[in-house]
Structures are given as C-alpha cells and as structure tokens.
Amino acid sequence: MKKNWLSYPYLLWMVLFVFFPLLLVFFYSITDRTGEGLRFTLAHFRRFMEPIYLKVLTRSVKLALISTVLCLMLGYPMAMILAGNHFKRKNIMIFLFVVPMWMNFLLRTYAWMTLLERKGLINTFLSWLGLNPLNLLYTEEAVVLGMVYNFLPFMVLPIYSVLSKIDKNLIEAAGDLGANQFTVFLKVIFPLSLPGVVSGITMVFMPAVTTFVISRLLGGGQFTLIGNLIEQQFLYAGDWSFGSAISMVMMIVILLSTSVITKYEKENEGGGLW
C-alpha cells in the first residue's frame, strides 16, 4: 500500500503556513530594518532584558503559577468526586462539568466583568449588607480569578480520566494490607494519578501564561502580561522585531517549563514534540 502521496498537499500546507511563518518570527527577531537594508542584531533580545520588560515576564509567570496551583487545589478534589461513585447520574454530572468549557471563553470572562464591576452584583450585595463597595474589577486578583474560572476544567478532566482508570483492586489490596484511607491516598491513588496532574498543570499553565484577553478585560490594561506586550508590539507600536523577540522568549519559557514537567511523565507514547 503506497499511499504516501495522499499526505503531500497537507505537508505542503504545513510547511507554508506553520513552518515558514515560525521561521519568519525567528528572522524578524534577529534582524533590524535600517535605511540601508537588513542587519543582524541581538538588540531586541537585549531590550527585553530591561527591568520594565523583565517585570512583565515575572508577573506573567507569577500569575500563571498562582492560577495553576489554585486550579490544582480546587480541581483535584473535584476530579476525585467525579471519578467516585457518589452520584446516580454520573454521566450528567460530567456533561454539566463540560458544558461551560464549550462556551466562548470571551463570554465566560465577560460574565465576570458584570459581576465584579463597581456597580456590579457583588457590590450591590455588599451595600445591601451595609458594607462599603470594593474595587474588585481591574485588580490582579480579578485576573487570577478569570484564569482559574476559564482553565479549571483543563485541570479536572485529565485528572478525572486517570483516576477513573485506576484499578479498584489496588485500592482494596492496600486496605487489606492494613493501610488507612489517608495512606491509601498518599501511597496508591496520588502516585497513580500523577500523569493526569502533569497534563493538567501543562494545560492550565500554558494558556494562562500566554493570555492577553483575560488580563485586558479583567485587569483593565493596567496589568500588562507578556501576551499583552506582544499584542501591543504587533498591533499598536508596530515594532515587529521586538514583538518577535518577545514571542521567541515566550516560546522558550513554555518549551522549558513543559519539558521540565513532562520529564516526570513516564508514559510517552504518541511521540509528541516535547
């Protein structure tokens, strides 16, 4: 069966629209356009090392890390509950959990704007209780909240799918050998669920560190994240070389963090990129 040629249109497409554009990003990040033409330079990377830009990078990583940890803390128990047999209508529970994920993430973020704004529902409720209204929207906490809200299912679902595949006999065996529930969790369930935790962490951290929408809508433009910086360079400042350099740095950050995380992942079938 020689059918290789069937994939040639696809390969041509991917080279043209994936490989070549990434090459262009790299090319822009190391060149300068002067009057005389192109010139090789590392100035754009050096510029990113200035304190204001480094602060943006550390802030992005910090907020993404906080959100990831919160998602893990909130999501792990939820995944355990979903994987257990506590409810008669388990399928419906999982269906209900997935539905919000299919809603446009801009709308999910916008929903929080209406809740958190100065005259929003939470502040109305507070003043009804006789409390002073709070500044909720356009804060760092609001950005973290938006990330947790948007990405929580990405943490829960991988952990859930690993947990529900665990052999129940292992848990019973541990119990028969004298382990109490806590030890069973610590020594059996948690270690077995680690692949799910690992993919959950990558699936939350990646979009959280690159987002520019959540920080723009809930942070109100005061909390520039690395995504916002890239957006600004390309769409407003018109400095494509600097924008490309930041994108290169961001790709390296993601590549490093995911490769560190997945190093602990044993099963590596499918032969992914990292």
Partner 1 sequence: MVKLLKRCYAALIYLFLYAPILILIIFSFNASKSRANWSGFTLNWYLELFKDRQIMKALYNTVVIALLSSVMATIIGTAAAIGIHNMKKLKKKLVMNLTYIPVVNPDIVTGLSLMLLFVFTKFPLGLFSLLLAHITFNLPYVILSVLPKLKQLDKNLYEAALDLGASPLHAYHKVILPEIMPGIITGMLLAFTLSVDDFVISFFTTGSGVSTLSIIIYSMARRGINPKINALSTLLFLTVLLLLIIVNLRTSGNGANKKRSDLKW
What backbone phi and psi angles, to 5 degrees, belong to 11?
-60, -40
Considering only 43-51, 64-72, 110-118, 163-171, which stretch makes contact with partner 1 by CB under 8 A? 110-118
User: Can residue 271 be called a binding residue for partner 1 (CB under 8 A)?
Assistant: yes
Please give the DSSP secondary-structure letter assigned to residue 38: E
Residue with Cβ nearer partner 1 (105 or 166): 105
Question: Considering only residues 31-50, where is the footprint of partner 1 by CB under 8 A?
Answer: none
Residue from the set 6, 40, 168, 182 that interacts with partner 1 by CB under 8 A:
6
Under 8 Å between Cβ of 56 and 226: yes
Annotate 136-202 with three-state secondary structure. Answer: CCCCHHHHHHHHHHHHHHHHHHHHHHHHCCCCHHHHHHHHHCCCCHHHHHHHHHHHHHHHHHHHHHH
Site for partner 1 in 146-205 (CB under 8 A): 149, 152
Residue from 188, 204, 250, 257 in contact with partner 1 (CB under 8 A): 250
Q: With b meaning 16 or more CB within 10 Å and e meaning fewer, what string describes 66-101?
A: bbbebbbeebbebbbebbeeeeeeeeeebeebeeee
Q: Which of residues 25 and 171 has its CB atom nearest to partner 1 in the complex?
A: 25
**Nearest distance in Å: CB 106, partner 1:** 5
CB of residue 72 vs partner 1: minimum separation in angstroms? 14
Single out the residue of 61, 66, 69, 113 in contact with partner 1 (rule: CB under 8 A).
Answer: 113
CB of 162 to partner 1, least distance (A): 19
